[in-house]
Amino acid sequence: AAMREHRIKKTKTVCTYCGVGCSFHVWTKGRKVLKVEPHPESPANGISTCVKGKFGWDFVNSEERLTKPLIREGDHFREAEWEEALQLIADRLTEIKETDGPDATAFISSSKCTNEESYLMQKFARAVIGTNNIDNCSRYCQSPATQGLFRTVGYGGDSGSIRDIATADLVIVIGSNTAESHPVLATRVKRAQKLNGQKLIVADLRRHEMAERADIFLHPRAGSDLVWLSAVTKYIIDKGWHDTRFLEERVNGFEEYVASLEPFTLEYAEEVTGIPRATLIRVAEAIRDADTTCVLWAMGVTQQQGGSNTSTAISNLLLVTGNYGRPGTGAYPLRGHNNVQGASDFGSMPNNFPGYESVTDDAVRARYEQAWGVELPKEPGMNNHNMVNAIHDGKLKALYIIGEDMGIVDSNINYVQAAFEKLDFFVVQDIFLTKTAEYADVVLPGSPSLEKEGTFTNTERRIQRLYRALEPLGDSKPDWMILRDLANVMGANWHYEHPSEIMDEAAKLAPLFAGVTYERLEGYNSLQWPVTEDGKDSPLLYTERFNFPDGKARLYPLEWIEPDGTDDEYDLHVNNGRLLEHFHEGNMTYKVEGIRAKTPQAFVEVSPELAKERGLKDGTLVRLQSRYGAVKVRAFITDRVKGHELYLPMNDAGEAAVNRLTGSKTDVETNTPAYKDVAVKMDVLETE
Ligand code: SF4
């Protein structure tokens, strides 16, 4: 064993950070991560990686890793053995199920975990406990995009591959700071601009790097993207620039849709969005002149009360202009976490089994009942948002969260943390004692990706294998093993010895993954769903048919949902998002010394105009107060933001946590929090 400690081991893995899904070999010696070596055959990234994928691994050896199960005793935790911790969880969940029914318990699985783990978590909720109360963190980000695509084209995923984006004549990026959030994907766009003369249109509240590179930059008022998108679409139709043949052959509902566009004139759009008419016409002309247009979007679109509708408006525009089914066309909602796509794909959703088949469909349910040998609940369960409300209402007694710092990343965290305190029983499974875990009754030590086998699905629906580079630290265990062991303590008799067996079961049950096997995913091989039984995958969707029974897409009439916005008292709008160096609330990246040193202090970006108006300097300490809470943070003056717009990076989990400010309004379709619709007032505390 000592010999082995000194050997350098190279293991193929997939990045644990963003949804681009870069894969590479990681070099390790003992527990030390020496370096990351990209591989030319890697489908998403080739030989590129960003700073997080390259250097962001020290957290796996952090002193703060959980290495033992913890059981609450009064106001502290004591270490315990697995047997005791699992028995306690089994007893308490059984008790609550018997007294309050299966729906008094809920589960949240992690988009940092593997597909196999998402599958097991939903199976545990449905088959062992008997509830559909299961969700995952795509509820915080991309559910509205999925909803917009379900309505119009039928699959909730990117329509093509990342590589295809480089072949587009025109790329439109909306509400995405791609250069910092999806760096390697952004590099492809930058290269295509330079080499192929690709045109770029960017719509955002902030003049970030992508905006600087854009041929046309749109600066719409917060939450008004649907209006300019619909106005551009209407203008295209009015001018006769729409793709008549595509619409006739492949799309339903054109007449009704055209009628619904009536209010969206250029005049109205200019008034609502603040984007000059002439600029909107330039956008329409650019789409007309491009043979292939694709749209990339992210949280700036989805985290709004009208997030689903705006995502739908994007898809409508693509349909009207015939921009689906060819390389370089289509819809690219950019998934945030490495496996946010897979967590939903593999059934951690309150309304769907794996592969997006409804729990209310009797035939589908019967298939699962037969395979699992249990009767399954017929009604959809609660989503994350409803879970928090149900805890406050006393209907939900127990919560089990894997790998999600919900007490920091949900909106209106004061309300969420108050809910945690009301729970009868709370289990958190994670790699660190997160803020959320501090509220738990039992904390179970899971493993990060380098310590497990399994698969992740990136933003382009690509399923890729990761291999184990390190042994689990201390007594921690891969999350699928913990779920299996717990299910067995509760009498489930699960026999999985390797994640491949879990994938085999999922592939047998969910037609979307019919031909997915570990053999077909060996090494750098990958599969983009849907995958037919003979192993044929689908890099490009909708080449012949859309995913509806008649094969035709559906145009979807929409109304604009006006955001709450600012008022006389709360007169500043706060936008929020990522920094390149950090990942979300920073639970992992803040434990990497080199990364922490680059961005040590929380700041809020303030426009030069506002700085002048309020007498702010760089470094002035300010207090931002919303209707829900307050943060203290230092001002950083930059012309990346304009007027009364502020930008607060979201990677602080402490004093400056943005979710102390965000409210309880959500996207009306999916309950995704409207994180981007925050109004605050500002007090100046001290000038440095
Ligand atoms: Fe990881 Fe995303 Fe960076 Fe690729 S672009 S290395 S997946 S964080």
The domain spans of the chain are 2-61, 70-139+338-513, 143-333, 572-686
- Phi then psi for residue 160, to 5 deg, are -140, -160
Q: Is the pLDDT of residue 291 over 60?
A: yes
Closest Cα to residue 504, out of 520, 489, 490? Answer: 520
Q: Is the pLDDT of residue 96 over 80?
A: yes
State which ligand 1 atom lies nearest to the alpha carbon of 44: 4
Burial class (CB in 10 A: 0-12, 13-18, 19+), 349: buried
464 C-alpha vs ligand 1 centroid, how far in Å?
14
> Which residues, in sequence order, are bridge partners of residue 457?
463
How far is it, in rounded angstroms, from Cα 105 to Cα 91? 13
- pLDDT value, residue 201: 96
Q: Is the pLDDT of residue 182 over 90?
A: no
- pLDDT value, residue 318: 98
- pLDDT value, residue 503: 98
**Smallest CA separation from ligand 1 atom 3, residue:** 50
CATH of domain 143-333: 3.40.228.10
- pLDDT bracket for residue 270 (50, 70, 90): very high
403 C-alpha vs ligand 1 centroid, how far in Å?
19
**Mean pLDDT along residues 156-162:** 92
Q: Is the pLDDT of residue 656 over 80?
A: no
How far is it, in rounded angstroms, from Cα 652 to Cα 663? 17
Q: Is the pLDDT of residue 585 over 60?
A: no
Which alpha helices (DSSP H) does 378-519 contain, by range? 384-392, 406-409, 413-422, 479-489, 499-509
**Mean pLDDT along residues 79-83:** 98
pTM attached to this predicted model: 0.89
Question: Any idea which fold 572-686 has?
Answer: Barwin-like endoglucanases (2.40.40)
138 C-alpha vs ligand 1 centroid, how far in Å?
18
The DSSP H or E segment spanning 320 is: helix 307-320
- List pocket residues of ligand 1, CB cut-off 6 Å: 15, 17-18, 20-22, 45, 49-50, 52-53, 182-184
CA 539 from centroid of its chain's CA atoms: 21
How far is it, in rounded angstroms, from Cα 271 to Cα 263? 12
> Which residues, in sequence order, are bridge partners of residue 677?
none
- pLDDT value, residue 519: 97
pLDDT in tens, 400-437: 999 988 888 777 888 899 999 999 999 999 999 999 99
Residues recorded for the chain: 688
By percentage, how much of the chain surpasses pLDDT 90? 70
* Residue with the larger pLDDT of the pair 646 and 260: 260
- pLDDT value, residue 515: 97
- pLDDT value, residue 247: 98
How far is it, in rounded angstroms, from Cα 327 to Cα 166? 9
Q: SS3 of 391, please?
A: helix
Give the β-pairing of 603-606 and 630-637.
Answer: parallel
**Mean pLDDT along residues 260-284:** 97
**Mean pLDDT along residues 645-655:** 74
Give the β-pairing of 630-637 and 621-625.
Answer: antiparallel
pLDDT in tens, 448-491: 999 999 999 999 999 999 999 999 999 999 999 999 999 999 99
State which ligand 1 atom lies nearest to the alpha carbon of 15: 1
Write the class of the CATH domain 70-139+338-513.
Answer: alpha beta
How far is it, in rounded angstroms, from Cα 373 to Cα 380? 20
Closest Cα to residue 432, out of 402, 467, 468, 409? Answer: 402
pLDDT in tens, 318-327: 999 999 999 9
CATH of domain 2-61: 2.20.25.90
- DSSP 8-state code for residue 535: S
Contact 441, 415 (CB under 8 A): no
Contact 442, 69 (CB under 8 A): yes
What is the residue type of 409?
A: V
18 C-alpha vs ligand 1 centroid, how far in Å?
5
pLDDT in tens, 297-310: 988 788 878 888 99
Lowest mean pLDDT among 138-152, 287-301, 481-495: 138-152
Give the other-Cβ count within 10 Å of 521's Cβ.
Answer: 18
**Mean pLDDT along residues 59-64:** 93
Contact 599, 581 (CB under 8 A): yes
Contact 226, 268 (CB under 8 A): no
- How many Cα atoms are found within 13 Å in the side-chain-facing hemisphere of 371? 16
Closest Cα to residue 10, out of 30, 32, 31, 25? Answer: 25
Which of 184, 188, 338, 578 most suits a substitution to test ligand 1, by most atoms within 8 Å of the C-beta? 184
**Smallest CA separation from ligand 1 atom 6, residue:** 53
The angle that helices 266-273 and 225-238 make with each other, rounded to 10 degrees, is 160
Q: Is the pLDDT of residue 2 over 60?
A: no
564 C-alpha vs ligand 1 centroid, how far in Å?
34
Which alpha helices (DSSP H) does 337-432 contain, by range? 340-345, 362-372, 384-392, 406-409, 413-422
Q: Which two tokens stand for residue 532?
A: 């037919």
Q: Is the pLDDT of residue 583 over 70?
A: no
Q: Which two tokens stand for residue 375?
A: 């009767």
34 C-alpha vs ligand 1 centroid, how far in Å?
18
- pLDDT value, residue 47: 85
Contact 405, 140 (CB under 8 A): no
Place of tokens 């979007």: 297
344 C-alpha vs ligand 1 centroid, how far in Å?
20
**Mean pLDDT along residues 49-72:** 92
State which ligand 1 atom lies nearest to the alpha carbon of 583: 8
| Residues contacting 99, CB < 8 A, separation 6+ | none
What sign does the CA torsion over 535, 539, 543, 546 have?
Answer: positive
State ipTM: 0.99
> Which residues, in sequence order, are bridge partners of residue 49?
none
State which ligand 1 atom lies nearest to the alpha carbon of 182: 5
322 C-alpha vs ligand 1 centroid, how far in Å?
31
183 C-alpha vs ligand 1 centroid, how far in Å?
7
32-38 β-sheet, strand order: 8-14, 23-29, 32-38
Which of 13, 18, 59, 589 most suits a substitution to test ligand 1, by most atoms within 8 Å of the C-beta? 18
Q: SS3 of 98, please?
A: helix
Which of 35, 51, 52, 450 most suits a substitution to test ligand 1, by most atoms within 8 Å of the C-beta? 52
Closest Cα to residue 20, out of 204, 134, 228, 161? Answer: 161
How far is it, in rounded angstroms, from Cα 198 to Cα 169? 5
**Smallest CA separation from ligand 1 atom 4, residue:** 22
429 C-alpha vs ligand 1 centroid, how far in Å?
24
What sign does the CA torsion over 123, 129, 132, 137 have?
Answer: negative
How far is it, in rounded angstroms, from Cα 473 to Cα 416? 31
By percentage, how much of the chain surpasses pLDDT 70? 94
Q: Is the pLDDT of residue 655 over 80?
A: no
The DSSP H or E segment spanning 95 is: helix 82-100
First to last CA, the chain: 56
How far is it, in rounded angstroms, from Cα 127 to Cα 106? 13
Contact 21, 2 (CB under 8 A): no
